[in-house]
């Protein structure tokens, strides 16, 4: 029912827009194939294999260079599962692309918009099983500065369903376009309220966190590697159960190092400090007082809009060393214009 309503609404907008101004119609096709095997010795319940394919075709109407409407779907099939599609998520959004502003409203892709978040706050399985943001995103950017705010509605309140939404912000400031220094931050909070029919002992909960990082982009300052960046800073996590306690806080030091050379790259993520508060959509490894993750990546396939990547990850926590092996094939064929409408 909801999918038919979305489609009817946006087809009506398409018709109105085409009658008012010159517009173009285009199509896009993107997707993701994944095989992700996780052998977590300190989180046996999360030691499993994720595998499947996502496809995301859509149809876009460009009223002009700044105003765009897009409708489509994002469907996932898990290997060996029945029925064939686990879920089919509608894609239906408005996008504004100005000189300094970017705005999304509706059900729009998470990839490319929130996929840069630290895994401590938004874990990487969301890329597989929650590909869309359902809400709003606004971004202001200049050559030196970028700031983004967003809200993602996770669950609408009904008599039995809880009201849940995520919101947050991220940004970066680079004092000099040619210098290596920059400052970045990430913040997220989950608001989890009860259903319309309250249950005894139920409470509103909130959890989230923030990172403030000082960064060095040394890519242009050396000639040995294709890219090299180093970030370090503080991570704050917090949570509370309203009516039972106040905000519980934890702090720790974070360090990220990324380097690449030709088809090879590594990413090292280090955390040391107080065990992080439980973040519902965050990676549970950060609930340890010490955590180090080393990703070793090999880009086996590279073409226009296509990348096939093998990843070996080593996770270290006090007393445990775990491993993870993954292969991801991502493709983005790019938007192709198929029609032009004129007055």
The chain-wide mean pLDDT, for the chain, equals: 92
Long-range contacts of 315-321 (CB under 8 A, 24+ apart): 315/40, 315/285, 315/291, 316/290, 316/291, 316/292, 317/42, 317/285, 317/288, 317/290, 317/291, 318/288, 318/289, 318/290, 319/42, 320/41, 320/42, 321/41
**What is the total count of domains within the chain?**
1
Residue-level pLDDT at 128: 94
Residues spanned by the domain of 97? 2-341
What letter would DSSP give residue 222? -
Contacts of 42 (CB under 8 A, 6+ apart): 288, 317, 319, 320, 322
Residue 5 has pLDDT above 80, yes or no: no
CB 236 within 8 A of CB 247: no
- Length in residues, the chain: 343
Residue 4: band (very low, low, confident or very high) from pLDDT cuts 50, 70, 90: low
- Of 35-39, 200-204, 263-267, the poorest mean pLDDT is in 200-204
91 C-beta neighbours (distance < 10 Å), count: 21
Whole-number pLDDT of residue 16: 54
| Predicted structure pTM score | 0.89
Mean pLDDT of 203-232: 95
Strands 290-303, 23-39: parallel, antiparallel or unpaired by DSSP?
Answer: unpaired
Cross-strand pairs, 144: none
Higher pLDDT, 87 or 18: 87
Q: What percent of the chain has pLDDT over 70?
A: 94
Cα-Cα-Cα-Cα dihedral sign, residues 120, 179, 258, 42: negative
Instruction: Output the pLDDT for position 96.
Output: 98
- Could you report the per-residue pLDDT of 231-278, keeping only the tens digit for each? 999 999 999 998 888 899 999 999 999 999 999 999 999 999 999 999
In tens, the pLDDT along 89-114 reads: 999 999 999 999 999 999 999 999 99
225: domain CATH number?
2.40.160.40
In degrees and rounded to multiples of 5, residue 33 shows phi and psi of -110, 140
């Amino acid at each position: 029912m909801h999918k038919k309503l979305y489609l009817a609404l946006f087809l009506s907008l398409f018709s109105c827009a085409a009658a008012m101004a010159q517009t173009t119609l285009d199509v896009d096709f993107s997707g993701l194939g994944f095989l992700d095997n996780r052998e977590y010795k300190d989180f046996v319940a999360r030691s499993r294999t994720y595998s499947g394919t996502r496809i995301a075709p859509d149809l876009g109407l460009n009223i002009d260079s700044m105003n765009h409407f897009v409708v489509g779907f994002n469907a996932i099939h898990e290997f060996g599962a029945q029925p064939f599609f686990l879920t089919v998520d509608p894609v239906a959004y408005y996008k504004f692309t100005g000189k300094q502003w970017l705005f999304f409203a509706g059900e729009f892709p998470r990839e490319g918009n929130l996929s840069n978040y630290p895994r401590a706050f938004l874990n990487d399985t969301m890329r597989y099983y929650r590909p869309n943001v359902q809400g709003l995103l606004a971004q202001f950017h200049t050559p030196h500065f970028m700031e983004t705010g967003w809200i993602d509605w996770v669950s609408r309140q009904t008599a039995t369903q809880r009201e849940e939404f995520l919101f947050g912000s991220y940004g970066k400031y680079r004092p000099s376009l040619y210098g290596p220094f920059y400052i970045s931050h990430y913040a997220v909070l989950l608001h989890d309220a009860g259903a319309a029919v309250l249950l005894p002992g139920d409470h509103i909960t909130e959890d989230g966190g923030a990172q403030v990082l000082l960064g060095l982009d040394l890519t242009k300052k050396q000639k040995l590697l294709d890219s090299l960046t180093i970030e370090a800073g503080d991570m704050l996590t917090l949570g509370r159960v309203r009516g039972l306690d106040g905000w519980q806080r934890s702090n720790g030091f974070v360090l990220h190092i990324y380097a690449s050379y030709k088809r090879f790259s590594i990413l090292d993520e280090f955390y040391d400090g107080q065990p992080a508060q439980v973040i519902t959509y965050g990676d549970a490894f950060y609930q340890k007082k010490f955590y180090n993750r080393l990703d070793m990546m090999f880009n086996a396939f590279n073409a226009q809009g296509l990348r096939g990547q093998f990843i070996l990850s080593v996770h270290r926590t006090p007393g445990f060393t775990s491993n993870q092996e993954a292969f991801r094939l991502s493709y983005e064929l790019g938007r192709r214009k198929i029609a032009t409408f004129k007055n």
